[in-house]
Structure 1
Amino acid sequence: MLRFLRGLGLFLTLFMPLSSAQAAGDLLVAPTRLILDGSRGTEVVLNNIGVAPATYRISLEIKRMTAEGGLDEIAEADATAEERAALDMIVFSPRRVTLPPNQPQVIRVGVRVPEGLAAGEYRAHMLFRAVPDAAPVTEPKGASGGVSIAITPIYGITIPVIVRVGDLSAVASIGEAWVEETADGAAFTFDLRREGGRSVYGDIEVTRPGLAAPLLTARGIAVYPEINERTVSLRVPPELARTLKGPVHIRYSEDREVSGGTIDAVDRVVK
């Protein structure tokens, strides 16, 4: 088993695409999204890709999607009944791990759906946060004395853990699309609408009629149940922004690791 995990850790580090694994600092997490239906559990693999041992703490938190596609962290005291239910029913172990370099660790995740829970999609976000080493206290150097402050960045990764109860469905539709200049640079922007009892999640591909190669692809575009519509803004280089103007075909498809089936596809004239 240990030999398998080490081999898996090497595979994750070298070959797994970023859409299937997420990295921050020296931590690699895969997969980046969990869906549970109550019948069986699943696993998340952590891997320390740094050169020194590191400790990570695992916890659950509530996040809500905004109309701009961001995720706002919500205090547990402000959580809805559905959000609190997600925190209560998702179980995982271990909650703290120390990993040597290039050492993977499996986190087992399960769900305990209470009897009589209403059908719907319940979601919490699993946070993997680095625990900084305790820095030794040192005397300030120099005759002037004073206070010396060392700042240690603390990084973390969050992934959604989704529990689906009952027979749920959803559809999505692509609205208008345009190219705009934002504070962060040029962006290809479009509206994405959702209807139904669960989230939608998939990939975007923008092509020009008559050309086989896509102009733009983006993976992991989601609309969660707390909103019905969001604006998707994808940063692009200025030269690509100019190319995207005019007639294009936009396809929103399910994740390739699921089925790759089309969720919606439209023709638009981008201005």
Structure 2
Amino acid sequence: MNKHLLFGTAALLLGCAFSDSLQANLLVTPTRVELDEKRAKSAVFSLVNKGTKTSRYEIYFEEKRMLPSGDFVTLSKDDGIAKANRAIDEALISQMQATSIAKYLRYSPRRLTLEPEQGGRVRLALRTPKTLPEGEYRSYIVFHQIPLAPKVQNNNTSKDGQSLSLTISAYMKIAVPIFLRVGDLKADISLNTGKLELSQGQQSLQVSLHRQGARSSYGDLEVINPVNNQVLGSLKNAAVYSELNEKSYSVPLSETLSPGSELIIRFTESDKLFEHQRIETRLRF
């Protein structure tokens, strides 16, 4: 009797650490979607299979929230809270469920098979009740590679003569945030700079984004030399989401600073945000 075991599925999330080779196998655009009840009520995702083999993708929604560490917690799409996250505070779980917009989104197709270098589209539409309370809502659309068919490798025979088979596969999983903001939501943002750090000969500056208000904030961080306006370091899409009041980032610098150096630290919010801001602070070492 043969016992076939499928083992070792690796889930990879956009915005988290993952294998470059696996990430390159699927190109998804856009990487963030902004919806509102008046104009932007739909979106189209373009997918391109950049791998060398035919791949199939399952498409569904997940609920995630950002942690101060930069990691994300995820509610299982099957049973509410994932087994690995049983210790999550119940208040956070309730907040995640209350701010989900998955139930107001319709999309097609639910599965997609792409040949190498072939592209496909997933269309999404928003349907909200008129009584939806003011606030920021967010869910994640997930593009999850699934096996076309199991492949058996590494056959071994056990002591009782039974054949054991083990297949190890890595399946890509990319999650894209979808935002809905009801009402003119504002946020107050401030910057706090920490110490300079040196690693393998390169300096980096610790910068914290502080957020208060009804909406998330995200944009670009820049570290600038005020003498010649040269950008010494930058980070795209630095974010502090509505569930957090603070998020810290390390900005690598292209030059080593000498004592007495002065810097401008600038955060420019996305122009898609209501009353987006540009915040600057100066720092001398």
Shorter chain as denominator, the TM-score bin is 0.7 to 0.9
CA offset digits 1:11-39 (Å, max 9, x no partner): xxxxxxxxxxxx81410011110011023
Q: How does 1:10-21 map to 2 (within 5 A)?
A: none
Equivalent residue, structure 2, for 1:20: none
List gaps (5 residues or longer) in structure 2: 1-21, 82-89
Q: Report the CA distance between 1:141 and its aligned residue.
A: 7.1
Q: CA deviation at 1:176?
A: 2.1
State the 1:187 CA deviation: 4.3
Residue of structure 1 in register with 2:84 after alignment:
none
Q: Normalization by structure 1: what TM-score?
A: 0.77
- 2:23 touches 2:172 (CA, 8 Å); kept in 1? yes
CA RMSD of aligned residues (A): 3.1
List alignment gaps of at least 5 residues for structure 1.
1-22
Match of 2:268 in 1: 253
Higher relative contact order (CA 8 A, sep 6+): 2
Secondary structure at the counterpart of residue 232 of structure 1: strand
Secondary structure at 1:147 match in 2: strand
**Conserved? CA contact 1:188–1:233, under 8 Å:** yes
TM-score (norm 2): 0.74
Residues 203, 256 of structure 2: 8 Å contact kept: no
Are residues 138 and 47 of structure 1, via their aligned partners in 2, closer, same or farther at CA, if it must alter by over 3 Å? closer
- Mapped partners of 1:95, 1:187: distance in 2: 43
Deviation at 1:66, TM superposition (A): 1.3
> Cα 1:50–1:207, aligned 2, differ >3 Å: closer, same or farther?
same
More helix by share: 1
* 1:188 positional shift: 2.7
Counterpart in the other structure of 2:97: 83
In 1, the alpha carbon distance for the partners of 2:273 and 2:132 equals 27
Q: Residue 28 and residue 244 in structure 1: after superposition, are their counterparts in 2 closer, same or farther (change >3 A)?
A: farther
What corresponds to 1:30 in structure 2?
29
Inter-CA distance 247–177: structure 2 relative to 1 (3 Å threshold): farther
Secondary structure of 1:83's aligned partner? helix
Cα 1:139/1:29, change in 2 over 3 Å: closer
Distance 1:262 1:124 in 2: 25
2:257 aligned residue: 243
Paired AA for residue 150 in structure 2: A
Task: Tell me by how many angstroms 1:81 deviates.
Answer: 5.4
1:58 to 2:72 alignment: no
Bigger drift between 160-169 and 225-234 goes to 225-234
User: Does 2:74 correspond to 1:73?
Assistant: yes
